[in-house]
């Protein structure tokens, strides 16, 4: 290498150092797209890319289709629970049922909840033969997708809790049709005989867990649903005329 070319190489190297000192290619100035900014690079003009077909986000794999859809491979409602049911699970269902379903379906599932007493369309009782014989998958479908006048509860109730609610509905249905001989002997002895006066113990049990709420409002409404089915809204045609002052 001649001394002239050596000098040129040195000058070039020096220039390089000087230039890279000015350009801030660090994290502050990194090349990137901000969310929702347009892009000229992609044909659709968007910088955000759509998910590839079939992409499954972490934690969102729903492999157990019976659990997530309530249907079998043929698309029929499943008849058996896709999840183990025990007492704690049913109690969880009772808690969720009392929050989300009882306002319309009533605490005992007779379809006479407070919202219905105030004029909403009355749902059928869970104790009719059709719903007693309906597969659990049907209940899952109603909660997930709604049914007629009833909106769906997919956003409010996660799949596991939907099954817990259904387990509790099954318990409610059984409670209306239980055979006293299914009880163990010691429990059976506590069941009052038809027409017999209640023992103090039974009276105390009934007072602590009344079937019908003790709220005096409850008794100011008729036993029959306020509105003929098909008439939504408390002020609709045929709505029950209450003598109570309008609530603000
Ligand atoms: C806002 C009132 C309301 C709430 C809350 C509500 N439902 Fe309903 N539900 C209805 C009405 C009204 C119908 C009848 C719909 C129709 O026939 O148009 C119904 C119908 C049903 C049916 C019967 C479907 C059939 O085959 O006839 C089931 C089962 C049911 N609801 C389950 C539930 C469960 C479980 C919950 C709680 C997660 C719930 N509902 C919450 C109003 C409600």
Cα separation of 19 and 3, whole Å? 24
| Domains delineated in the chain | 83-182+209-235 (1.10.760.10)
pTM across the whole model = 0.68
pLDDT of residue 221 exceeding 70, the answer is: no
Of 47, 46, 156, 58, nearest to 101 by C-alpha is 156
Backbone phi and psi for residue 19, each to the nearest 5 degrees, phi listed first: -65, -45
The finding on whether 167 has its CB within 6 A of some atom of ligand 1 is no
**Residue with the two structure tokens 């049914």:** 147
Query: What does the DSSP 8-state code read for residue 178?
Result: -
The finding on whether 117 has its CB within 6 A of some atom of ligand 1 is no
Q: What is the pLDDT of residue 110?
A: 87
Question: Which mutation among 122, 142, 144, 155 tests ligand 1's pocket best, with the greatest number of atoms within 8 A of CB?
Answer: 142
CB 173 within 8 A of CB 109: yes
Q: How far is the CA of 82 from the centre of ligand 1 (A)?
A: 22
Give pLDDT tens digits for 38-92.
Answer: 999 999 999 998 888 989 888 888 888 899 999 999 999 999 999 999 999 999 9
Cα separation of 217 and 208, whole Å? 19
- Alpha helices, DSSP H only, in the chain? 3-22, 65-69, 87-100, 102-105, 114-117, 129-133, 136-145, 159-175, 185-188, 200-208, 216-219
Cα separation of 11 and 122, whole Å? 90
CA distances from 190 to 180, 198, 200, 246 (A): 11, 10, 11, 45
Give pLDDT tens digits for 194-205.
Answer: 778 888 887 887
The finding on whether 136 has its CB within 6 A of some atom of ligand 1 is no
The finding on whether 116 has its CB within 6 A of some atom of ligand 1 is no
Q: How far is the CA of 160 from the centre of ligand 1 (A)?
A: 18
Neighbours of 141 (CB within 10 A): 19
The finding on whether 101 has its CB within 6 A of some atom of ligand 1 is yes
Cα separation of 142 and 154, whole Å? 10
Query: What does the DSSP 8-state code read for residue 180?
Result: G
Q: What is the pLDDT of residue 79?
A: 96
Question: 239 CB contacts (<8 Å, ≥6 apart)?
Answer: 119, 226, 227, 231, 233
Q: What is the pLDDT of residue 154?
A: 95
CB 123 within 8 A of CB 146: no
Give pLDDT tens digits for 122-145.
Answer: 899 999 999 999 999 999 999 999
């Amino acid at each position: 290498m001649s001394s002239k070319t050596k000098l040129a190489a040195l000058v070039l190297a020096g220039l390089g150092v000087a230039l890279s000192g000015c350009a801030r290619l660090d994290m502050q100035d990194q090349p990137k797209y901000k969310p929702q900014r347009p892009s000229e690079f992609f044909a659709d003009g968007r910088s955000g890319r759509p998910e590839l077909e079939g992409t499954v986000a972490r934690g969102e794999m729903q492999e157990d289709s019976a659990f997530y859809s309530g249907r079998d491979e043929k698309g029929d409602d499943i008849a058996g629970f896709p999840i183990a049911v025990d007492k704690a699970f049913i109690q969880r269902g009772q808690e969720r049922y009392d929050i989300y379903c009882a306002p319309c379906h009533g605490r005992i599932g007779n379809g006479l909840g407070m919202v219905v007493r105030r004029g909403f369309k009355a749902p059928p009782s869970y104790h009719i033969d059709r719903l007693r014989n309906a597969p659990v998958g049907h209940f899952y479908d109603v909660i997930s997708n709604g049914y007629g006048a009833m909106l769906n509860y997919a956003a409010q109730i996660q799949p596991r809790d939907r099954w817990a609610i259904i387990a509790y509905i099954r318990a409610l249905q059984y409670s209306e049709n239980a055979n006293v001989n299914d009880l163990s002997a010691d429990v059976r002895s506590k069941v009052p005989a038809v027409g017999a006066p209640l023992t103090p113990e039974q009276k105390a049990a009934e007072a602590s867990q009344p079937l019908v709420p003790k709220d005096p409002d409850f008794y100011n409404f008729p036993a029959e649903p306020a509105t003929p089915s098909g008439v939504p809204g408390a002020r609709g045609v045929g709505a029950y005329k209450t003598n109570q002052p309008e609530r603000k």
